Structure 1
Amino acid sequence: MKALLVHERESFGPEAVSLPGGEAVAITFRCPDKAGPNEDAAVVVPLGDGAVLAVADGVGGSRSAHLASAAVTRALAALDDGGRSDVIDAVELANRQILESSQGAATTVAIAQIEKNTVRPIHVGDSTVILVGQRGRLHMQTVPHSPVGYALEAGMIDEGEAMHHADRHIVSNVIGAEDMRIEIGGSLTMARRDTLILATDGVLDNLHLDELIDFVRVGPIAKAAQRVADVVSRRMREPQSGVPSKPDDTTMILYRRNS
């Protein structure tokens, strides 16, 4: 089965991909009223009895941000083995390519390496991997590589303060940097009906975590993905007091275990 690779799309999805043991759905849309390209990208790579899923967010401030996110998702799409070392090699290849382009581009990436009923999160930057149960229990969430992400993890600020923090846009670790650091999480067992969420910050800058979990934990994941996209887009276009709202490109992959 071929990889599903999505980049530089004004909007796409929800597009479903059947995978061993489950189903993945990808969706993306460009920031409302934005003239330039969508700087997010996504890839779903079926591999044997597993898969590699990834979302990437080209770092703003560079005309080539969309090329950086495309570089890492293309490198992952070319995988013919989903082992941890192969995934790491693909990310490092993308980092070299971006640095050698000398365009000042950079990107985040959030990866879920799935093997049978296990998942391992791998990430660079502030794009996120989340695992939730059918009843809404949070099993795992990666820590964003950012000052605000670290402060939230340390308990120095709460989610509400993080959502509206002046430095929320700062990312301290990216692909496209000489000192890039790849964080490799531990392997987790997924139960039947568990849901994986991979999201760029367009999602979690416009939804509280408990809202996102409630949207995706039950029901068809294609409908859940569309529901999240509709709410996020509306909040970007129609900001209201006390409700999170930050216009941005937005990309998400959902994966649901069905066996």
Structure 2
Amino acid sequence: MLIAHISDTHLTPPGQRLAGRIDSAAQLACAVRTIQALDVAPDCVLATGDLTDRGETEAYAVLRSTLAALPMPVYAIPGNHDRREAMRQAFGDCAWMPSKIGAPLCYEVRLGELVLIALDTLVEGEDHGMLGEAQLGWLEERLVAAAPRPVIVMLHHPPVDSGIAIMDSMKLIDCDRFGEIVSRHPNIERVLCGHLHRAMHVRWRGTVVSVPSSTVEQVQLTFAADAPLATLQEPPGLQLHYWAPGQGLVSHNVPIGDFAGPFFY
């Protein structure tokens, strides 16, 4: 099982640029080409939120048309820049998308030996994330039902600090409750997140939290407590997660773009 993981694509309507300077659709198309160029095609693609920058219907249409070039299924969740009902409508033809208006966009999918549990941390109008007691209860039920199969949980907002103070101020606010549940289920192989706009891996609550680079731009890496939010045009990236039976999930950070090589030795 090979899983591609993209995040924070920040699509805008046609003719608009992200922050007035970045063609996020072209950046996503480049990510798609990077996935297409892999010598072994991933079994699926996970997109962990901030799919659009402002949640416009037209931006979701650009997202869907760009991702349509991928032959494998794409499973997506919202981030704080998304709009729940616009996303529900945009992915309404996907079997995994919950159809009930107003309900969280959380769902479960079997991925071979693995179980994917997708969570919705969107609090519309806010930068931070929250799951809420109802969704946390649903998560616990699904984890009990999934055991002993290995589980991947994906959500947009990381439940951990990164050391980048401005980003840590807008993380998952009910991370302690989420962490209590995660600690009770050792079959959680990985927690996959977005939001950070930087690649990060950290051990947490008996599992590992992984975040890929954004496909557009990266948050400045600074550990100064009073540093403002700033971004850099560092290389975009994605992650590949390879399920090795008997060993677990092996993760690789993959830069997005066209590079010289390969040079064989």
Q: Please say whether Structure 1 and Structure 2 have the same fold, judged by a TM-score greater than 0.5.
A: no
TM-score (norm 1): 0.34
TM-score of the superposed pair, with normalisation by structure 2? 0.34
Which of 1 and 2 has higher RCO (CA within 8 Å, sep 6+)?
Answer: 1
Q: Which has the larger radius of gyration?
A: 2
* Greater strand content: 1
